[in-house]
Each structure stands twice: as C-alpha cells, then as structure tokens.
Structure 1
Amino acid sequence: MIGHLSFADLERHYIVGRDEELGRFRTVLSRGGWPGHASFLHVYGTGGVGKSTYLRLCRSEAERAGACFILLDTPDFVHTERGFAEALLQQLKERFSDLDGLSGPPLEQCESAIRRLSQSGRVVLALDTFEQMQDLETWLRERFLSSLPETTIVLTAGRRPLKGDWLLSPVWRRKLAQFELTHLDQTDCHRYLTRCGSYDEVVNERIWRLTKGHPLTLSLAAAAQSYDERGSFAKEADWFEEAAALWLREVPDPQLRTVVEAASILRHFDQELLSYLLEENVPGDVFDRLTALSFVSKSKRGWQLHDLMRETTSARLRARAPKLYKRLCGRAAGYYADAVLESASRSDSGWEVRELFRYVGPDVLRALSSETPRSSLYWETLTETTLGDAIAYIDCRQNWTEDGQSGMGVDPETGAAFQIEYTAEAIRGNVTRLDARQVFELDPEAIKLLRDQEGQARGLAVVIPFHEGTLAFMEKDPICSPYLRSLKPEEKRKLQTPRHRPSGWFIRVLDCWDVSDPDVRDETIDFIFSYICSGGLVVCSPYPTEIARKTYPGFGFSAVESAAHRNHEGRTEAPTYALDTRGDKLRGFLEAMLRRAGLDWQPSARREPEANGGFERQSAVLHPLTKRELEVAELVLAGLSNGEVARKLFVSEATVKKHLRAVYDKLGVHSRVQLARILIKE
C-alpha cells in the first residue's frame, strides 16, 4: 500500500519513465574504472527535465549497491579551486566519520579522503548544474578529476553536452559517456497522472499535449488539476507562468528576449526568417547568442526552440501582446504560403504545407496531429519482393473480425476533443475490393506501407495517379469510378496526361493500423500534406466515419456533387472529396485558407520590392528565376548595394550574393550592367 511506503520509496513511486537512463548508470557503476569502460557519466537536458531527480535516483542505486555517493550542487560554493575543495571536504566529513586525521590543504584532504573511501568500495562523485562550472572546467579536467583513483565514478548533470577539450582528448573520450535526459512519452505521462489520481482520459490527454511530457510542467499541471475541484484548467496560466519563468532565467537581455519571442512563433527558424518576422535585421551576434541557449538546438531545417519553451513563450506573448502575436503569426503564415506557392512542383513540399496549416488549419487537424512530431516511422514504396507484405496487410483488414478501434485527439489551443471511432465494418470497408497486385502492375509506386523501425507494417496508402494509363482501371474501380462518372467530357480529357506527368492522384486507401497511435496519425496527415498543394488534382472517398467527415474538409477538400456512392459495404453513403490546385487554383486555395483564418495574404506583396513595380516571369528569358531571385535582381537594377538589398529583404548579405550568382548563371551574364540590359528589355 502507498500509505505504508517510506518517503524515499513514495517519491520513487511517482517517478516514471527513467528505467533506461538508470540502467546506464548501473552499467557505469558496475564497470566504472575497468579498462576500456567509461567512468565519467554526464547527463544533460533542458531546465525542469528532471536532472536533479535523476541524480537522487542514482544516489539510491549507488547506496543500494554499497557505494559512497557524494553530491555537490555548484551554486552552493564559491567557484574557485579552494571553494570547491572546501565544499567537497565538508560533505565528506559530514557523511563519513572515519575521515579524522586528515591534514594539509583542503584539496589534498579531499584527494586523501576519496582514496581512503575507494579502498573499501566504489565512490561516486556527483556534480549538479554543471553548466555553471565553466570557470572551473579546465581545472577540474586537468587537475582534480585526473588525480582521482581509477575506480572513482564521476556523475555530472548540466544543460548542455560536454564538448571541446572533453572530446579532443582520447583519454577523456574513453572515460566519458553522456546522454540527453528527454521528455516523458505519452504512456509514461498517463501513468504518472493516474498515480496522481487523475483518471479522466480527456483531461490526461490534454495535459500530455500541453506539457509535451516535460516532467516539471507535468508535475505542476497535475498539482493544479488535483486542487481544482471542478476538473477544469483554471490554474493552467499559473503553471505555464512557472515553467516559462524557469526557462527565461537564461535570457536576461531584452533584445534577445524579443528574438526568443519571435522564434516561439515558429517550429524551425534561421536568421533570415527571424529577420523577416521582426521586419528588421537580426544581427549575427544576437543570433549566435540565441542559438547558444540551452533550450535551442540545431534541426534539419535550421534551429528550433525546445518544445515546451516554444509553447510557454508563445502563450505568454499571446496573452501579453495579442496584436503583436497576431501580426507575427500572420507574417509567418504569409511566409509559408509563399513557400508553398513557390515549391508546388517539388515532391517534398509537404513540409511547407504542414507549417502553413499550423497557422491557418482548423481545430480538428491540430487535435489529430502533434505539434512536434518525432516519429521514427517511414513510408516505403513497394517492390516485387515486398508486395506480399501489402497483400497480407490488405487481406487482414478485409477479413477483420475483431472489435473496432478508437482514439482521441485534443486541440491544444481550444481544448476541443475529437473522438476517432472505426468499427470493424469501417476497417473492412476502407480497403474494400482492392486487388493490390493489379494496382502494383498498374503503377509500382502507387502502393506504400508505413513501417516502424522493426519493419512492421503500421499503415497502408494506395494512391493512384491520374494519367492516360490509369483512367481505364479507375473507371471500373468501385471507389474511383463515381468521381470519373461525375465529370464532364472536357474535364475527363484534362486527366489524360502522359504517364510521366500525372494530372493528379486518387487516394484510394489511407489506412492506419492503430488510430490511437499519435505517431501513425502524424505520418498519415503528413502524407496527405505532401499531395494537397502539389499543383495537381487530389481526390478521395474514404469510408464515411465521423472523423473523416470533419478531417477532409479541414484539409480544404470539397464534396463532389453526384459522386457520392454506397460501394464500401453497400449501405452507408460515402461522399467523394476533391481538391484542385492545378495552375492558378493553388493561389486561390491558399488565399481562401488565409482569409478564413482572418489573414490578408497578397503573394506578390509579401516580399515585394518597391522599385519599378516588380518583374514578372512571363518571358522565356526570366522563367528560370525564382521569385526571390527576381526580387534581388529588381533591387540591384534600382541601384541598391548588396547590403541594402539584404536589409530590404531581411536576409543576410551572403544570401543576396548567393541569389545574385544564381541570377547571373541562369541568365548568362557576368555583371550588373549586363543584367540591367536584360531586365530593362524584358
């Protein structure tokens, strides 16, 4: 029973999700000091992620194993060699009474005491908040730590990984092992909240989404929930404020805070995007200070704030300065709308679409997708060898007799909950009368399996392209044919494009093995994003579940008149949805999306230079230039220097030079004079 546990055991009862991390310490504890094995373990992570708690857990593990554990917190002593030695010596003498008789300077006494303790067992020296010991790192590394007995284990915790000289030395590389302490996953969050007495699934789901599994914030949210008898989130602002205050201790500079607030609007950022958002150039030194903060990390697309820092800072900004917040969000939405328009012909434009939908998408999409997806799943295009996996998947779903599946999504902004319900009949109907081999022979790239790291199939997508080689098949398919019958002859003729240039795609099947898995949902939503703004026609007719009726219109699809049918299972009427972004329709679609979100977007004006009214890419000569290259060329023609162009467009001067070189290469010129002749002529 919990009531009979000691305080230490009770604390351990409420700690979840750190078994793997503790296992790493046990490994070091059992092997530390052996040749070829690490004896220095450094754990790092952002504020409030539980580093100090982890050290306490390690203390329990060490004492259970009979080791001496000494913990020193860096704010508790003066940061000099003598201050460190005196603080450590005091800890040693307080904990171990058999150290009498030590003499000499404090540092020598410490070294003697640790050697004496090491003769009777393992010694663990733990240093918390290690990031505050930068002024002593060299001394610690080269003098103190190197003098300790080989069997001594050093355990440090800080906000950043150890770099520089720690990694340059082959000796320290052998001794050092380090890892990041990350957030709790959804399962551990729900386990913790249940242990805290919160059993409401909807409430727990929302707490998980709001806290992102950040341990301190999760604890604050659980406390607020337990004290709120109405079961609402009346105290939500309080624990967000506490979390934000913890993060912002690192940012005392007002100028840097302004940049952090702008970065909190974005999932990924770079210097150019932040400059555009703030409508002024962000200096390089300010950007360098930003990226050096512990809650900022490098990403594939630039840099990113830590999830919780981004959420809390954004929420504070929205409450404190709602007009500024809306303006920044509007500029970000316009930025990504332009990016979508410019990248429509690319196969990887789905990322820009997802970013745009963060600002203009409906609540149902926010509820079903994660704000910061981290899935290790991947979509695999089939080969003849793996076709059998898809056939087995489809056969299993077509003969599904088990109970249906359900899940839930909660919009982190509004708290609106959306139930996802798929009956067994819906699971079977979603893949009805589908011959995978026939589709594969029609187009080998039409079928994709969603796999996890173990290679298990977690989802299926069957997307048939519209072109001259597929229309005959789709006219006979029970799900595709109602749409083709609804078209006028001239509309159908537009679909008969060459095989290498499809006019669009019919999403015949999009099936999730487990709709309650947020990673699977994220990958499925991203899959749709990769098609909807690709400059083609996208059509689908999913089994008519309630969540499907809400989701596809949220993506921007419209129901097609005269294309509804009952061909999934013969009884329930299923609508057919279409989204047409061919030609100029993509721009109209984007304008409508932003307009519904209350934003006025003018694609030619977002980054439009003021000189000479702007060029158009209508001639064959100018067609190779991107919109940004045209803007740079226009400002150069107006007589602006590279630095002035950079300030005008809120980019770096190096970026201007890069665009200008691209313009020269594409137009076959070598100077501004030659460029001016071409542009004036055009």
Structure 2
Amino acid sequence: MSENRIKYMESRFFVGREREKSLFIDFLSQEYPYDKILNIYGTGGIGKSFLLDEYRRLAESRHVPFLLIDSNDFLHTPQGLCEKLNTLLQASPAGEITQHPVEDCLKKLNKMADVTRIIVAIDTYEELGELDWWLRESFIPHSGDNILFIISGRHALQGSWLASPVWRSLVKPVPVDPFDTAACTSYAERFGIVDEAILRRLYAFTLGHPLTLSLTVGLSLEELFAEKNDDQREDLFRELTYRWLREVPDESLSELVEAASLVRNFDQELLEAMIGESVTGASFRRLTDLSFIRPGKGGYRIHALLRTTLSEEIRARTPKRFKQLRHRSIAYYHREIVTPSSEGNMTDTIANLIFGLEDSVLLSTFLEDTPQGEYEYETVHADNLHLAEQHIQDVMQAEADYERSYFNPQTGQQHQMDIPAQHDRIAFGNLEPVKLITFGPDTVRMIKNHEGATIGLAIFIPIHRDSLSYLQVQPVSRHFFNTLDPEQLEEYRTSPDQPAGRFIYHVDLRKDDSIAARAALMRLLISLLLKPGMLAFSSPLPYHQEITRRMGFNQVEGATHYDFGEHIPSPTFMLDIRGERHRAYFDRWVQNAGLSLAPKLPDHLFGFTAKEREVAMLVLSIDSIAEIANKLNVTQAAIKKHLGRIYKKAGVARKSQLLKKLMEL
C-alpha cells in the first residue's frame, strides 16, 4: 500500500476540528511578531495525536517542514531529544550518537529556518518531566524566529509558562474538546451508520469522545446497545480506563479517584466525608490536576465514561466498600439539603443526591453530562414577551410529531418518549402569556442556548390568591383545584410574594434535543424542590407520568381529564412538601436508598456522658457547630468543649474520623 494512499485514508477519517485547523493555518501564516508555541491539550483519547497528524498534512501541503516527535520515543535528556530531531533532520543516521547533538540540532534547525518556516511538534508532553525546564529556558530561546513549536499534552502549560508575561504572550492555548453531534454523525456516516436512532444513541453513549467513538463504530451497535449485553461495553470501557488511569501514580491518589467516580460532582469536603479521613490540599490538587477531571459550577467532575467504568468495577470488586462510599455520599448530600448553609448551589446538591439514588429513568433523563456546557434562562416580562410569543407560534405551527430518547450508558437502557404535535399545540393554545407574567417574575421562563436563541419554555404558575381563580377555570389545571374543598382552597390563598406552591403547566424543548438543553430543564425542575410548597402536574405522556411518580408525586383521585384529546387520559399528580413535609420528603429518598436517618448509639459508647452522646448523635445529621449549639440552646464554645472530650474518648483527632467511626457502628 502506497504512502499517499495511507495519508488519503487517514485524512478521510479525520472529521470536525474546524476551529483547531483554522488556528493552525493562522499559526503557519502569521506575521511577526507572532505566537511561538501552539499548546494543544485535552484528556486521554480526545484526539490530540490525530490532530497533530492532520497538522502535519496541512503543513506538508504548504511545503512547511513538520518535525513530529513523541516523548515516548527518546530519552528525556537534552541529548536524547536532539538526537531524535537530528534523525528527522537527517543530520545523523538513526541510532548514531554525535559528539554535540544539541549544538548540531540547533545549528541545522536555524540554518533551515533562514529559508523556510519550520514546525517542531512534541506529543505526550506531560511525560517529559524536568526536560520542560530546559526546553523553556534554553532550547526554545535559542531557536530562530522562523521555528515554531507545537506542545501537545493532557494539560495546558502551567507554572513558569504562566508566571512569565513574555511566555504568556508567546503561547496560544488550543483546548481539544469532545466532538459535537455534527462531527460524531459525520464520523459514523463514514462507516455506513446513517440511522438517526442509532446515531442519537451513539452520541449519548460516547458523549462525543473520539477514542470511544472510534472503538464503538467497529462493533455491532445493535448488540452493544442491547440491555442485556454488558460484555462489549465492559471491554470498551476497560480500554479507556487503562489509558486514563496511567496518569494516576500511586495508591493514595487512586483511592480518591475511585471515591470521585461514585458521585456526580465532588469537592474536598465530600471526599473527606466519603473516605472517613482528611484529604490534604496538596492531595486534592493532585487529584484535580488529572486531565479527566474538570471544574464546574457545582464542584469538580470526573469524565462520565471513566466514572461509569470505575463505579461498576468498584461495585463488582469491593461491594461493601462501594455501598459504604455511596451511603456516605448520600448522607452528606442529605445533610446539606436539610441543614443548608448560606453557600453552595442547592439545585446541584439535589441533583447529586438523585444521582446517588441510581434510578435509571431519572439518571438517563436528567443527569447526563453536558459536554457543550450549560444553557441559560431568561424570565419573560413585558419587554421580551414578543420573543416567547414567537417561540410559541413556531411550536404551534410545527406539524410533525417528535420523540425524545434517553440513554443510560451505564446500563445500556434506552427510554423513549413520543410527543404528538398536538400535545404542544393544545398546551400553548390554552395559555395567555400576557396574563401569566402578571402572576410572578418566574412564571414563564425561556431556555436559551449559547447563541442566545430561545429553544424552550418552562411555565410554572405560582399558586396564590391572585392566580387561584385563573387556575380554577384553566384547562389542565382546573381539574386538580376542583377536587379541593373550600377549606383546602383557602390554604392556597396566600400573598403573591409567598406562593403556596406551583402548578407545573408545561415544559417544552421541541427545538433542541441536546444534552445541554435537557440539563437546563432538569435544573429548573429540581429548583422547584428547594422551597417548601405544593407542586402539581398533569400530562397525557406516559413517560412524563413515570418521571413524576419516581420523583415522589402521588396521583390525585378524581383529577384525571381529557383536555389533550377525547381518548387521551391525563392524570394529575401532586407533591406536598409544605412545612415539615419538606424534610420528610428528602428523608424518604435517603431511607429508600437503604440508609437509616436516626442511628441509635449504644448506651455507654466510648464512655460518653448523656450530653456527649446527644452531641455525637447530632454530629451525624448536622454539619454546623453553630446549628448544633442553637438546637441544644447552648453556646458554640460549650459544643466545642463537648467535641474535644468526645474526640478524646473515641480515639480520634477530628470530626471526619468521628463520623467514620459512628457510621460504621
């Protein structure tokens, strides 16, 4: 097979990366003064090496020499690197060692650079170690202006590269992200995969990760996605895990990675609660420096594909430890919800708790990762009402039915929701947007994508004295309120600034089937659980009904209606989390996961006094010393004294160790 044919085939299977290719072409043709270094970085399997190969093809097509070396192919010394470059420059035969390889290399490079631009590309840069210092302080400064460098690795250049304003001005960062849906589809089509349902599942399964995609398209996708077929998925994930975990150097860091793989988001305090011991700042930084871990609004997050593999492997290898880590994470989130602090995003905390409960339907519907980032919301008011009305008009004019597929890569399960066009038309046709926005600031919200386009609407009507008469006569909502007696109705006649609850009237995402859009809707729905109140919802769609039941709603007797069609029953569901029911609701979630919320400490445990035993009990469910002091009507100093004696009697030095001992009883 000819070299040209191989290059053609490699180029044919290169898809996407238009932004990265454009940056490189600009890099090649830039005028002085210019960027000296193009820094490519991204997690394992993201396609950095394939991108470098494409860069080489682009450079050679413009007659620009492209010297590509991998850090695994030479000794990590100045002499070793330059000997490798000398071989590529044909300055010395392969394997021959010259007396002055560094000087010879720079001399040859600079001589070539007098007549042409040259690219020196170093792949797997993170493994060079101390050679990084020599390249920055000696080799690159002595290279001519016409010699440009590409540094490719799992991490962006850091440390001294950032500390110096000179180097910052010379380095162009190029993060390499997962494929979007278009690139994923384009790649699959080259293998003859054109079925839309399969393409959607393929993207949901791979999350646009190029290596996962390339491994997956060579398999029988029908078999791979079969619910009972775990073997192929396990083999595939095992290959990815092997590549990623090569970054993890020791057992202590591996334990933190495993704990992080069992939760959706994590921070240092959560990991301490899970493993039952303190985590130093240095250890946590080493963890978050791993390329497969990314920061987000709700803490740090491990890559979803690695998280899936590791969690299942821990479950199979050490089931007791898996259960313990999972239960501790659930208990931590429960404490955060029922005794919230002024800091933290409670919507994320509830989402994290749902993740720990491992409900397949809720996981696949709401909690998929969002590689494209998060969408935003915009409250509808008089000034932007026309945008919401235009969106409603667009949806009502749509004639085609549509579907939404939800795929759980961990189990291989797919859940599908079919939505008739008439469903949205009837829901929107019954509404008066100009009336709705008078009931409260967040009654109607638009969901916006990154370009600022409206891709969905969420209509949650607050229940109070001004909206109650409207809800009592409005199609869909009236049936619930007609089941209430006068005394019950009176409970809902609250002031508009303190609504008794919300009627979830309609949610619409017809225009966008992306994971990011779905996650945006998830955050809105979960936000309704933050405050005590009554929530009601009615839908003819079986999948909506299933989700509602799994969220703990109860069907309301006598409130089923046929407003969406003569032969289409629409039951109504209600969740009452007013007052003390709010905590009881989250207590039920935790109890359903198999945890006991009120552990009984044995009498005379560790020789505790009655008061010390009471404080120890509260430590299990309340995180703040101030809150414990307030509950017992004593000072914080008194609680600290009690804790000091408790730690001493229990043989521990800190709260995390005490929690570990008490939770293991």
Using structure 1 for the length normalisation, give the TM-score: 0.85
Of 442, 448, 452 in structure 1, the residue corresponding to residue 449 of structure 2 is 452
- Matched with 2:661 is none
The answer to whether 1:394 aligns with 2:400 is no
Query: Quick check: 2:277–2:657 contact (8 Å CA) kept in 1?
Result: no
Q: Which runs of 5+ in 2 are unaligned?
A: 619-623, 659-665
Is 1:566 matched up with 2:572? no
Question: Relative to 1, partners in 2 of residues 1:294 and 1:433: Cα closer, same or farther, differing over 3 Å?
Answer: closer
Partner of 1:407: 404
CA contact (8 A) 1:377 1:450 kept: yes
Query: Secondary structure of the equivalent of 1:552?
Result: helix
Q: Share of identical aligned residues, percent?
A: 29
What do residues 34-69 of structure 1 show as CA deviations (whole Å, max 9, x unaligned)?
A: 234313101011122121111111110100111001
Alignment match, 2:245: 248
Q: C-alpha distance in 1, partners of 2:341/2:533?
A: 9
Tell me the CA shift for residue 223 of structure 1. 3.2
Task: Give the C-alpha shift of residue 498 in structure 1.
Answer: 2.2
- 1:131 match: 126
Quick one: distance in 2 between partners of 1:89 and 1:345?
61
Paired residue secondary structure (1:650): helix
Q: SS of the counterpart of 1:384?
A: coil
The equivalent residue for 1:15 is 14
Cα deviation per residue 1:253-294 (whole Å; 9 max; x = unaligned)? 122211211111122222221111112223444334323333
Correspondence 1:90-489 to 2 at 5 A: 90-93=87-90, 105-198=100-193, 204-225=199-220, 234-343=231-340, 349-360=346-357, 362-373=359-370, 374-397=372-395, 399-489=396-486
1:461 offset after TM fit, Å? 1.5
Alignment partners' CA distance in 2, 1:262 and 1:477:
49
Whether 1:575 and 2:581 are equivalent positions in the alignment is no
| Alpha-carbon distance, 1:104 to partner | 7.5
Indicate whether 1:552 and 2:548 are aligned. Answer: yes
Structure 1 vs Structure 2 CA RMSD:
3.5
Q: Secondary structure at the match of 2:499?
A: coil
**Is the alpha carbon distance of 1:546 and 1:4 closer, same or farther for their aligned partners in structure 2, counting shifts above 3 Å?**
farther
Query: Which of residues 631, 636, 639 is equivalent to 2:640?
Result: 636
Q: Distance in 1 between matches of 2:392 and 2:200?
A: 31
Tell me how far 1:185 sits from its aligned partner: 2.5
TM-superposition CA deviations, 1:513-556 (whole Å, max 9, x none): 336332222211221111135221111223x1232222221222
* Post-superposition CA distance 1:581-615 (Å, at most 9, x none): 11222233223333444x22406889x99823149
Equivalent AA in structure 1 for residue 56 of structure 2: R
Alpha-carbon shift at residue 230 of structure 1 (Å): 10
SS at match of 1:506: strand
1:433, CA displacement in angstroms? 1.3
Distance 2:432 2:225 in 1: 53
8 Å contact from structure 2 (residues 293, 301) kept in 1 = yes
Q: Secondary structure at 1:465's aligned position in 2?
A: strand
In structure 2, the partner of 1:659 is: none
Counterparts of 2:45 and 2:232, CA distance in 1: 19
Aligned to 1:29: 28
Residue 211 of structure 1 deviates from its aligned partner by: 3.1
SS of 2:504's equivalent in the other structure is: strand
Deviation string for 1:135-164 (max 9, x for gaps)? 122221222111212121111101111122
Structure-2 change in CA distance of 1:306 and 1:616 (3 Å)? closer
Q: Partners in 2 of 1:65 and 1:40 — Cα distance?
A: 19
Partners of 2:531 and 2:598 in 1: CA distance: 17
Q: Relative to 1, partners in 2 of residues 1:211 and 1:129: Cα closer, same or farther, differing over 3 Å? A: same
1:73-103 per-position Cα deviation (integer Å, ceiling 9, x unaligned): 1222222222222221122117999xxxx99
Pick closer, same or farther for the CA change 1:647–1:394 going to 2, 3 Å.
farther
Shifted more, 276-285 versus 127-136: the winner is 276-285
CA contact (8 A) 1:406 1:516 kept: no
**Structure 1 equivalent of residue 534 of structure 2:** 537
- Note the C-alpha offset of 1:22: 1.5
Cα drift, residue 506 of structure 1: 0.9
Which residue is equivalent to 1:612? Answer: 613
Aligned partner letter, 1:42: N
Which runs of 5 or more residues in structure 1 are unaligned? 618-622, 653-682
Deviation at residue 387 of structure 1 after TM alignment: 1.1
Counterpart residue type for residue 554 of structure 2: S
How far apart, in 1, do the equivalents of 2:558 and 2:222 lie?
A: 55
With the length of structure 2 as denominator, give the TM-score of the two structures. 0.87
Partner letter of residue 295 of structure 1?
Answer: F
1:342–1:627 Cα contact (<8 Å) kept: no
Aligned residue runs from structure 1 range 65-84, under 5 A: 65-84=62-81
Instruction: List aligned pairs for 1:45-64, cutoff 5 A.
Output: 45-64=42-61
